[in-house]
Amino acid sequence: MTISSAPGKIILFGEHAVVYGRPALAVPVTQVHADVELSDSDRAGIWIDAPDVNLLAELNTLPSDHPLASVIHNFLFLARVSPFPNLLIKIASTIPVASGLGSGAAVSVALVRALSAHLDKQMTDTEVNAFAYEIEKLHHGTPSGIDNTVITYSKPVYFVREQPMETFRVGEPFTIVIGDTGIPAPTKESVSDVRQLWMNDNARWEAVFDGVADVSFAARRVIEEGWVDMLGTLMDENHALLQQMTVSSPELDRLVEAARSAGALGAKMSGGGRGGNMIALVDAEMAETVAKSLKEAGAKNTIITQVS
């Protein structure tokens, strides 16, 4: 039997602008994860058992563009696995779907790693990352590649599209509270809406993306130097720029405001937006208080995580 696990992630700075070549910072969130357990089976075929999405099916009965089937088909094809083995693939995930925590990329990474290990087709991290990016492209249109990168390497990532992966140092650990609006929001739609804005007024949105880039540059420096006090303001600035891009929502804004009122040092939405998650920077001893206020303001779930 082979098991594999991949973490969730949050984007600290730079979502959306990253699609247009600006830098973004993302970190893994190990409190949530996708887990794959793969074993040889007596039953003919490749059976997928994913109770979280109510799925128990043989691979060939699924449409070829099914997210799980596409990972398995593409892997078997690229790794030239023939004949297909009889397998049971169990998939479970605690990462909420379509919420900006990288559930799709985490399942792809865990699944391809389990398949490559079980079938003795070794893959480097670079290959796993490239594979997961191709899968992201199938389902998300024009992804920047940040999700698959931070999840594959499970390290803080300073990400610039089509550049080699770069990690960054965390000078002083800091605490983030994640608040989930509970509203699933497909990233594809918000990314496509931002593209529409950009096409209608290129100069205006390029300037907004440059504003985000300035925030991300500054944030990297601040995090590396351990100047945590300055990070909150940068988050607030980034949230205001995301609001301009129309990708925040009343629910996200309410949680961001609630976190700030409860004593967070700064807060912003995280990921594609319109729903999904927001993040708040807090002093460690304030984490529970801020999490409680987020729940009172409507958060369906909160996670406290340390970036270190």
Q: Given the complex with ligand PMV, which of 28 and 87 has the nearer CB atom? A: 28
Q: Given the complex with ligand PMV, which of 5 and 187 has the nearer CB atom? A: 187
According to the binding rule CB under 6 A, does residue 269 interact with ligand PMV?
no
For residue 226, the SS3 value is coil
What is the rounded distance in angstroms from the CA atom of residue 6 to the CA atom of residue 305?
A: 16
Query: Residue 165 in contact with residue 285, Cβ under 8 Å?
Result: no
Query: Residue 239 in contact with residue 16, Cβ under 8 Å?
Result: no
According to the binding rule CB under 6 A, does residue 274 interact with ligand PMV?
no
CB of 135 to ligand PMV, least distance (A): 13
Query: Judged by CB under 6 A, how many residues of this single chain contact ligand PMV?
Result: 16
Burial 232-251 (b: 16+ CB within 10 A, else e): bebbbbbbebbbebebbbeb
Q: Given the complex with ligand PMV, which of 57 and 165 has the nearer CB atom? A: 165
Q: Given the complex with ligand PMV, which of 100 and 179 has the nearer CB atom? A: 100
According to the binding rule CB under 6 A, does residue 143 interact with ligand PMV?
yes
User: Which entry of 40, 49, 65, 147 is annotated as an active-site residue?
Assistant: 147
According to the binding rule CB under 6 A, does residue 180 interact with ligand PMV?
no
Compute and round to an integer the Cα radius of gyration of the chain.
20
Is 42 a catalytic site residue?
no
CB of 236 to ligand PMV, least distance (A): 19
DSSP 288-306: HHHHHHHHHTT-SEEEEEE
In the list 46, 107, 177, 191, the residue contacting ligand PMV (rule: CB under 6 A) is 191
What is the rounded distance in angstroms from the CA atom of residue 133 to the CA atom of residue 144?
A: 9
Task: Say how many C-beta atoms besides its own lie within 10 A of residue 6's C-beta.
Answer: 31
77: Cβ contacts below 8 Å, ≥ 6 apart = none
According to the binding rule CB under 6 A, does residue 294 interact with ligand PMV?
no
Q: Given the complex with ligand PMV, which of 76 and 307 has the nearer CB atom? A: 307
CA-based nearest residue to 108, from 119, 99, 120, 95: 95
Strands 301-307 and 174-180: antiparallel
For residue 201, the SS3 value is coil
Burial 74-101 (b: 16+ CB within 10 A, else e): bbbeebeeeeeeebbbbbbbebbebbbb
- 270 - beta bridge partners? 277
According to the binding rule CB under 6 A, does residue 147 interact with ligand PMV?
yes
Task: Write each residue from 99 to 118 as x if it is in contact with ligand PMV (CB under 6 A), else as -, in one continuous string.
Answer: -x-x----------------
CB of 147 to ligand PMV, least distance (A): 5
Stretch that binds ligand PMV, among 12-20, 53-61, 79-87, 299-307 (CB under 6 A): 12-20
CB of 272 to ligand PMV, least distance (A): 3
For residue 230, the SS3 value is helix
CB of 260 to ligand PMV, least distance (A): 22
According to the binding rule CB under 6 A, does residue 272 interact with ligand PMV?
yes
- Which residues are annotated as catalytic? 147
Give the footprint of ligand PMV on this chain (CB under 6 A). Answer: 11, 15-16, 18-19, 100, 102, 143-144, 146-147, 187, 191, 271-272, 276
